[in-house]
Structure formats: structure tokens, C-alpha cells
Structure 1
Amino acid sequence: MTRAFDTLPDPRHPDPEDAPALRWGVLAPGAIAADFTDALHKHSGQRVVAAGSRSLERATAFAAAHGVERAYGSYDQLVADPDVDVVYVASPHTQHAELALLAIAAGKHVLVEKPLAANAAEARLIADAARAAGVFAMEAMWTRYLPQTDIVRQLLDDGAFGELRVVTADFGGSAPYDPTSRLFDPALAGGALLDLGVYVVSWASFALGSPASVLATGSLAPSGVDEQAALILSTTTGAQALLSTGLKAATPSLATINGWAGRVETDSPFWSASGLRFFRADGAQAAYWIDPYQRPGREGMVYEAAALARFVMAGLTDSPLHPLDEAIGTLATIDEARRQLGAVGVGYGSTL
């Protein structure tokens, strides 16, 4: 038995202010880029110093609204800026590989919004290019860097669950069908799995590693993208992950890890700052932790940026907490689920 049955460990590196300050450039400044920039400026010493868009007007408006020094009317101009240390790619999925490769070719470190790419083949292009160039590249799976996730990581490392048996996670939202929306447009890699499902598949990967088999069922939107999906991922040890995602109804966004010796349950939503409950094998609650740091919702994106800054300053080229190979594996699982569902979509240099 470990201490996890009586109390939960403290998260490590909970304060993003402790991270070395880097200068960031943002490509494709939209809503998520706005939240990312505001989170960095509010909660850390990281600074977004440049915004780049295909529209100078849009980049200028973003810069003015979010305290960014410079605006560029092309992506090439931003990645050529010598005062930018790291580039954050905040575009739709189908541009992730193109823009990441552009930044890497310019010698910039890169943080790519989740999913890392529209499919596993694209993601491998990013990983290969970053390794060849010797620059740091990371998927912006911000959940991996939250304080609560580090608590679960320590429980896993300590063997607090015993042999893992079942992992669960759900993330569904309600989005009325609109064929012009990026969520439903095959040309923009629309669908639930790449937008929301990447969180639940990543949670399963975090706990269990890569699956030995994938079983998917669900339904398609009229445009042919996956609108709802349920996945069973099985490992060689017999453990399973039961996952669901969709665009037809909002779901609780809860996640669990269950073993013979105990289980952990998240509060809602599991993918941003919330809380954790640890239960013994007999079902009795042994410990409860609630996030005390007051970085709610997307303000929690500051943790991934702080982690990247620490890794870069340590001379790393890959995240030890969420390596590129794992992000590629998550996309391989999603590729297979989409194939089984018969979903359609366009990737960088390939058609699914």
C-alpha cells in the first residue's frame, strides 16, 4: 500500500510564475489564441510578443486587444522574427502540420494546438522535422500539465491503483448541425473525435499507454464527419478504456482510473482545473483534492506554456510528460476509430 490511500500527494511545479520567461509568437490568432495569450500574461512571465495572420488587419486587432507588441500580415514574417523564441500554432486542425513545419524550418520551438495534426501521418512529419532541426516541439494537450494531472501521475507511478483494469472518460458537447462550421466540414478535419475526443483518448493513453485493439461505434453527420463515437480500447494486459465523445449532447466530462486496489475520479470537467477523489478498493472515499490555484477554464493553458519553457531551458527537445510519440499514438487511435466509423476528412498531404 502507498500513502495515496490516506492522502493525495501535492502537485509539483504548481506555479507558472516559476518558469523561465520565453518570447512567444502566435500563428492564426483566433479565440483559443486569445485565451492562451491572456492566460500567459495574467499568470506567468511568458510573453506573447508577436501575432501573425494571413490578414494584417486581423493580426493588428489581436495585438491591440491582448497587449502584443507586433503584428504581421503573413505567417512567414512571424516565424522570421528573431525576437520570437517559440511559436504557438492556433489554427484549425488542417493547418497544424503546415504551420508547425514552417516554424520548425525557421528554427523555432513550437507548441501546436491539439490535436497535434489532422492524422498520425501528419504528426510524424512534425516530429521528424523537429528532431532533424533539433528544436522543441509539443502538442498543446494542456490537461497533461494541470496540477491535478500531476497528482494522478504520482499515483500511477506509486502503484496506488494496483493493477489497472478500467479507465473511463467522456467529453461531449451540443453543436447544432451546420455544414459551414469547422466542426462539421470534412475539408477542415471536422468531427467530434479530433475536436473533443482527443482529450478522452489522451486520458486513456496517459493511464494505459497505447492500445492493442480499438473498437469504435457511433454515427456520422450528414457531411460525413463523426458526430458521435464510443470507443473501447483494450491493452495486452486485459485492461480497457471506455470512452465517449460527440457533438449531439453535452456530457459530464468526467474521467476515472480504476484498479484492484483503488480508483480516482475527477470532478467536472476533467480536462481543466477541477478536483480529484481517491477511493479504496472497498469503495470508501479516502481523500479529496480540489484545485486551489484559481486558474479556471482555459486559464489553465498557462501550465503547458510554463512546462515548455522549463523543458526548453533544460535543453530538451521533447516533453517528458507528453512525448511526441504518444501524441502520434493518440492520433493513430483516432485514425482507426474514424476508419471504423466510415468518417471522411482531409489531412495534410493525404485524404482519409
Structure 2
Amino acid sequence: MSTSLGWGILGAGGIAGAFARDLSTGGHRAAAVGSRDGERARAFASKHGIPAAHEGYEALVSDPSVDVVYVATPHSHHLEHALLAIEAGKHLLIEKAFTTTGDDAQRLVDAAREKGVFVMEAMWTRFLPTMVAARERVAAGDLGEVVSVVADHSQMLDLSPGSRLIEPSLGGGALLDLGVYCVSLAHAFLGPVARIRAAGVVDDAGVDHRGAAILEHAGGGMSTVTFSMETLGSNRATIAGTEGVIELDPSFYGSTAYRRRHESDHDEAAESFTPEHEGRGMQFQAAEVERCIAAGQLESPTMPLDETVAIMRVMDEIATQMRDSSRG
């Protein structure tokens, strides 16, 4: 339980609310919230028991009670708001997708390194007990050599007129909202991507609604990722090796169970894992941020900044190929 660092929540939408609840569950301290709408900030602060509410993001990042800023605005505004916090000398946790392009991701990382502040992408899945246990099994050699990852993230989301998800200026699309989980999972277990083959459905405004990609990884592994914001899917994932497989239950990107099967076990599970914790699980990424800052680290070894940039560049190429395939 840590209350040493004060968190400032930049944005007062749904994901910000989920994070605020889990901060409290994990024993972390929310010091302030900021929104363009002062009334909305005050309502958010009252609901979540946050001491200070600011109208405008400049006021939030200037608050001396704030040590770490959690950026929870749309993808399209992450770079702008993160640079504002970096200039103020604040540490950062930035919602995924980190930015909308690989170039913007690199610009943000360069600015943070020059300023000497901690920054991490809020890929909360990596810090959940399920993923920690899966990485331990892989590190122990229980799957042999990992050669394949398959992941699906498909939901029927609100695509009605006015929805952020179909607005290109707000970073709308299935890839940035949903596909990022799949690409990040594949990258985590198979490493850098060498070749990409992707296709998708993109509307006239340039917003992708669904897509799929086959990724060839530099180490020889292959992954398949599918994502959609207009259809339901399995929302399962598998991490397969030469001697076994981990099967992640739906929804693989959340706090879920897994089964591990060994090549000699056939259909019987060699191990089952079911996480037990309070809340949604977003407190684990907050704990990692605080642990790293206390240790004097400016990035997390579990979600390194260069990997975040590499993932964004993979998604750049997937997006390009989806647009090309949709035109064809």
C-alpha cells in the first residue's frame, strides 16, 4: 500500500473513472483531477473523493500536489497533453494507444528522456496477475520455445453518429482502441516484428472498423491478430510453444483465467490459474509506476518505451495496409 505519490487524472471520462476507483482499491492516492469542463472535474472529484478539481489541463499539471499525471483523454490528444505534463516536470502514465502514430510516440519518448521524467504506456494487461503468471511459465520453459500467439479483440461498440470511435480527428477506429491489445500481447511474447500482412474494412472517413494481421517476428515466431468494433468475437488468446500452450479465457486483455496444457497432457490442463484481487485490476500498473519512480527508474522494464514505440510503428503499417486493402 503506497500513498507517497499524488496522482493527477487528466480527463474525466469513463476510463478515468475506472482508474480512479482502482487507485483507491490499490491504496494509491489521487490528488487532483482536471477537465476542460470545470463542473465535470468537480463532479468527478466529488464522486471519487479527490481533493482538488481543476478547470483546464494546465492547472492540473501545475498543481504541486501532483507527482504523476495519468493521461486519459482520446488518443488524438495524448501527445499534446503528455508534452504539457512533461514540460511541468511531471511523471506520466499514458493510456493506450500511447499516441496515434509511431513518430508521435518517438517524439513523446524523446521529450520525456530529455526532461528526465518517468513515462509508461498504460497497457494495464501486462501488469495483471494472469499475465505475470503467464510470463513466469514461459520464463521457466514450461511451453518450450514460444512460436505462436493468436489473439482476438472484438466488441460491438457505439458507432452511432457523434461517437468518438468513428471520428478520425479523435483517433477513432478498432486498431487503436482494440487491436493494440493484440499487437502488444504478440510483441510481449514473440519480440520485434519483421514482416506484416494486414487487411481490413475502412470507411470513407478513413476509420477502420475491423481488421486482421499476420505478423512475422524477428525471432521466427508468428502471430495472428483480429479486431473489430462492429462484431462480437471470441476475445480469447493463446500463447503456444514447442512443448505446451497457455489458453487465455475471454476477455484475454482483462483479469481472466488461463489453462496451461503440456504436449503430453493432450486435453487435460497441466495447470489452471484464476486471479483473485479487488477491482478491475488497473491498480497493478499504478503500483509499477510508483515502484519504478521509487527505484529511480525512468521507464518500466515490463513495458519499455522503445517497445511502446515499436508497437506503434507496427500499428502504423497495419493501418496503412488496411487502408490499401479497403480501397482494393
Counterparts of 1:31 and 1:85, CA distance in 2: 22
Does residue 36 of the first structure (1) align with residue 55 of the second (2)? no
Aligned to 1:293: 277
Question: What amino acid maps onto 2:215 in structure 1?
Answer: L
Counting matched residue pairs gives 322
SS in 1 for 2:212: strand
Aligned to 2:238: 256
Structure 2: where are the runs of 5+ without partners?
Answer: none
Question: What amino acid maps onto 1:289 in structure 2?
Answer: F
Counterparts of 1:149 and 1:326, CA distance in 2: 17
TM-score where L is the length of structure 2: 0.95
Question: What amino acid maps onto 2:144 in structure 1?
Answer: G
Taking structure 1 as reference, are residues 280 and 23 closer, same or farther at Cα in structure 2, changes over 3 Å only?
same
Q: 1:315 aligns with which of 286, 293, 296?
A: 296
Contact 1:87 1:111 in 2 (8 A): yes
Please show how residues 7-18 of structure 1 align to structure 2 within 5 Å.
17=1
Q: 1:109 aligns with which of 74, 77, 91?
A: 91
Counterparts of 2:82 and 2:234, CA distance in 1: 33
Please show how residues 39-50 of structure 1 align to structure 2 within 5 Å.
39-41=22-24, 43-50=25-32
SS in 1 for 2:165: coil
Q: 2:312 aligns with which of 312, 331, 337?
A: 331
Aligned to 2:283: 302
Aligned to 2:51: 69
Question: What amino acid maps onto 1:339 in structure 2?
Answer: T
When the two chains are superposed, the root-mean-square deviation of aligned CA atoms in Å is 1.3
Aligned to 1:184: 166
Contact 1:51 1:78 in 2 (8 A): yes
Does residue 81 of the first structure (1) align with residue 63 of the second (2)? yes
Question: What amino acid maps onto 2:138 in structure 1?
Answer: L
Aligned to 1:350: none
Does residue 198 of the first structure (1) align with residue 189 of the second (2)? no
SS in 2 for 1:88: strand
Give the Å deviation of 1:276: 1.3
Q: 2:255 aligns with which of 259, 267, 273?
A: 273
Counterparts of 2:321 and 2:294, CA distance in 1: 42
Contact 2:211 2:227 in 1 (8 A): yes
Contact 1:20 1:306 in 2 (8 A): no
Contact 1:21 1:45 in 2 (8 A): no
Q: Deviations over 1:156-204 (max 9, x none)?
A: 2222221222111110011353342111111111110000000000000
SS in 1 for 2:224: strand
Counterparts of 1:247 and 1:87, CA distance in 2: 29
Counterparts of 2:4 and 2:27, CA distance in 1: 5
Q: Which has the larger displacement, 135-144 or 59-68?
A: 59-68
Counterparts of 2:151 and 2:134, CA distance in 1: 14
**How much identity, in percent, do the aligned residues show?**
41
Counterparts of 1:84 and 1:176, CA distance in 2: 34
Structure 1: where are the runs of 5+ without partners?
Answer: 1-16, 344-352
Contact 1:20 1:309 in 2 (8 A): no
SS in 1 for 2:109: helix
Please show how residues 152-167 of structure 1 align to structure 2 within 5 Å.
152-167=134-149
Q: 1:93 aligns with which of 65, 70, 75?
A: 75
Q: 1:207 aligns with which of 158, 174, 189?
A: 189
Taking structure 1 as reference, are residues 179 and 223 closer, same or farther at Cα in structure 2, changes over 3 Å only?
farther
SS in 2 for 1:285: coil
Give the Å deviation of 1:68: 0.8
Comparing both chains, which one has the higher relative contact order based on Cα–Cα distances under 8 Å and sequence gaps of 6 or more? 1
TM-score where L is the length of structure 1: 0.89
